[in-house]
Structure 1
Amino acid sequence: MSDPHASEPEAADHRLEKTVGNRVRHHRLVAGLTASDLAARAGLSPAMISRIESATTSASLTTIHRVARALDVPVASLFRGADAPRAAVVVKAGAGTDSVRAGSRQGHRYASLGNLLSTSGPSLEPVIVTLNADAAEFPLYEHAGIEFLYMLEGAILFRHGDDEHVLEAGDSILLDAETPHGPTAVTAGPARFLSVNPAGA
């Protein structure tokens, strides 16, 4: 007779593997490393890093310790959230938390709408960016992953690599964030847009 609870430990183990895999991938992307880079640092094969990140292997503690050391993070950080309940972040209108970014020195305003580390997929951070009409300096950004931008009001010139786009209210752009990108001018201000990035970018 089969044990109706036999699958519970297996499901819990797989949940742990998915947590470790997603944490490793998150820290690797934040560090700007490829899977091959991390493998070289940890003295492991790229295939092993891929199996860890895809949760298709149960890595030994020794292996996880080597990966954590290569990422320069505590071992415990790779297990964080494994037993935590699923979370949600609600931000009421106008209640985003001001955060300091590269553009803050030029008077650009960034209001974070939450930072939630997922244990089952990419971790994202939505930010409302406000640019004054008289903004004159615009830093460009480069980071791992992809970025999504949706214009809420105003209009900007937005550069991605060698291309420049006019973005007005209602327009959006989805881009490879490893290419230099960012607003280069406010053509109708103030300009506000929602930017969704990998957490920590």
Structure 2
Amino acid sequence: MEEFNINIGERIKRLRHMRNLTLQDVANFTGFSKALISQIENNVVTPPITTLAKIAKVLNVKMVYFFEDDLDFKEYYLVKKNDRKIAYREGAKHGYIYEELAHIKNNDIFESFVVTIRSEPREKKLFSHEGYEFMYILEGGIRMYLNNDVVTLEEGDSISFSSKIPHYAETLGDKDAKILSIRMKSIDIKALINQAGKDK
């Protein structure tokens, strides 16, 4: 039981540092006192589930993060070309192949992929979700649909946009396209502050 508590406190502290948040920041966003957050991090106090849920929300992770056994914290993550993993995403059903560039466990801040877009005909389906995206064309070219706008991107071009905009990409001509894709999750700090005020 002691090891369980130590892991939770250490994980909260480490993740807070990774997010560049102070004890006071977490206290402000959760509505708890700075002293309580410090006690939780130092395993003086074992937080109840409701408290842990608020801390998880501020640190932008799922609560299960604090209970998993196989977390692997490192200063850097190296992925060799032949070690890339094929990741399943919704777009896989629409001709997109995602190769993970970073095997970072439990990282809800960003994802990075090399995405191959097949040139084969398929249904044109626009996607929208939370966050932001950056795309850099490594090979080939794509036609990007962003709501009612259409832009053409060729090798060496890049684009960044809010993922809330309905979007879709298809290749130019009959050649597959390869893209560096970085996706960042948005954090609604205002909502966190407002919620913290309501929960005080």
TM-score, normalized by the shorter chain, greater than 0.5: yes
Question: Residue 134 of structure 1: which of 108, 111, 120 is its match?
Answer: 120
Question: Equivalents in 2 of 1:19, 1:48: separation in Å?
Answer: 11
Structure 1 residue 64 corresponds to structure 2 residue 64: no
Structure 1 residue 173 corresponds to structure 2 residue 159: yes
Q: 1:113 maps to which residue?
A: 101
Measured after TM superposition, the shift of residue 49 of structure 1 is 7.8
Is the 2:11–2:66 contact (alpha carbons within 8 Å) kept by the matching residues of 1?
no
Question: Equivalents in 2 of 1:85, 1:196: separation in Å?
Answer: 21
Measured after TM superposition, the shift of residue 145 of structure 1 is 1.8
Question: Equivalents in 2 of 1:91, 1:14: separation in Å?
Answer: 26
Structure 1 residue 19 corresponds to structure 2 residue 2: no
Is the 2:61–2:106 contact (alpha carbons within 8 Å) kept by the matching residues of 1?
no
Measured after TM superposition, the shift of residue 153 of structure 1 is 0.9
Q: Which runs of 5+ in 2 are unaligned?
A: 1-8, 20-24, 41-46, 186-200
Question: Equivalents in 1 of 2:72, 2:118: separation in Å?
Answer: 41
**Matched residues, percent identical?**
24
Is the 1:103–1:139 contact (alpha carbons within 8 Å) kept by the matching residues of 2?
no
Question: Equivalents in 2 of 1:79, 1:21: separation in Å?
Answer: 19
**Matched ranges for 1:21-170 at <5 A:** 51-52=29-30, 57=34, 58-59=36-37, 61-62=47-48, 64-67=51-54, 73-74=62-63, 77-78=65-66, 85-116=73-104, 123-170=109-156
Measured after TM superposition, the shift of residue 139 of structure 1 is 3.3
Task: Evaluate the alpha carbon distance shift between residue 22 and residue 131 of structure 1 in structure 2; reply closer, same or farther with a 3 A threshold.
Answer: same
SS of the equivalent of 2:140 reads strand
Question: Equivalents in 2 of 1:135, 1:128: separation in Å?
Answer: 21
The TM-score with structure 2 as length reference comes to 0.60
Measured after TM superposition, the shift of residue 52 of structure 1 is 4.5
SS of the equivalent of 2:86 reads strand
Q: Which amino acid aligns with 1:51?
A: F
Measured after TM superposition, the shift of residue 84 of structure 1 is 6.5
Moved more, 132-141 or 92-101: 132-141
Task: Evaluate the alpha carbon distance shift between residue 89 and residue 139 of structure 1 in structure 2; reply closer, same or farther with a 3 A threshold.
Answer: farther
